[in-house]
Amino acid sequence: MLKGKTALVTGSTSGIGLGIAKSLAERGANIILNGFGDSEGPRREIASLGVQVAYHGADMSKPAEIEEMMKFAAAQFGRVDILVNNAGIQHVAKIEDFPVEKWDAVLAINLSSAFHATRLALPAMKVANWGRIINVASAHGLVGSAEKSAYVAAKHGLVGLTKVTALENATTGVTCNAICPGWVLTPLVQKQVDARAAAQNISNEDAKRQLLGEKEPSMQFTTPAELGELAVFFCSAAGNNVRGVAWNMDGGWLAQ
C-alpha cells in the first residue's frame, strides 16, 4: 500500500514513534528514523521488513538541525511523503515550581518542532499533490491534568496546528491529522510510574494500576502497534478526506 513512499518519523528510536515506523514499514514505506539513544537496533528492525531505512539524529529543539534533517531526507529519498511529528518529552511540576528551561524545552520539542518540520515538508508534498502529516498529540491535547502545564499547553497547541495545516491544504491531496493516545507504556510513561512507586513506596505494578485507574476506564495501556495501525489508516486511500481530526485512542479517558 505504501511502497515507494517515504515516511519520516521524529522521535522514532523508541516507544510510539518506533511502533508507527514499524507499521508504515510493514506496508512498504521507506523510513527515516530520528531520535536519541540507540539507533542501530531500530534500524535493523525496520530493515528486516524489507524497506530502505536511514537515520538522522537532529535535535528537534533546534530549527537549524530540523532543516538539515529535511535536506538529508530529500537527498536520500527525493522527498518526504509522510511526516509523523512524534518526538516529545514530559516534565511534571506545579506551575510555580516549573523550571523555565523545562517549559522552553517541552514547547520546543513537543510543538515548535512540528511547525518547523511541517513548513519544510509541505512544498514537496504540494507539488506531488499527495502527503500525510500525522501529529502525535495526546489525550492531553484535549483535556488537562495538574502538574503538566507545558505538556498540556504544547499538545493543545499541536491539535490547533493540526487543524490549520489541514485547512490550508484542504483542496489538495495533503492531509493532516492528530493522534491522541491515552497511557502507553513507553520510557516516557515508565518514568512517571517509577516516580509514583518511589514517592508512595508501592510496587511498580501498583503504580501502573493507580495511573490507569485515575484516567482510563479500560485499565489497559494502548500499544505503539495499535497507534501504528491508526497512522496506517490516515495514510490509506480511505483517509483521503479525513482532515484536521484529533483521534483519541485512550481506553475511554475522554468519554467520561
Q: Which residues are catalytic?
A: 151
Residues 128-187 interacting with ligand NAD (rule: CB under 6 A): 136, 138, 181, 183-184, 186-187
Answer yes or no: are the C-beta atoms of 174 and 125 closer than 8 Å. yes
Interacting residues of 167 by C-beta distance below 8 A, sequence separation 6+: 243, 244
Residue of the chain from 8, 32, 51, 60 that contacts ligand NAD (CB under 6 A) = 60
Q: Which is nearer to ligand NAD, 17 or 63 (CB)?
A: 17
Residue of the chain from 4, 37, 50, 144 that contacts ligand NAD (CB under 6 A) = 37
C-alpha dist (Å) from residue 154 to 49, 78, 194, 209, 231: 34, 31, 24, 27, 21
Residues 177-196 interacting with ligand NAD (rule: CB under 6 A): 181, 183-184, 186-189
Q: How far is the CB of 183 from ligand NAD (least distance, A)?
A: 5
Decide if residue 103 touches ligand NAD (CB under 6 A): no
Size of the site for ligand NAD (CB under 6 A): 29
Task: Indicate the Cα dihedral angle 75, 81, 82, 87, nearest 10°.
Answer: 30
Q: Exposed/middle/buried for 241, CB within 10 Å: 0-12, 13-18, 19+?
A: exposed
Q: Which residues bind ligand NAD (CB under 6 A)?
A: 11-17, 34-37, 59-61, 86-89, 109-110, 136, 138, 181, 183-184, 186-189
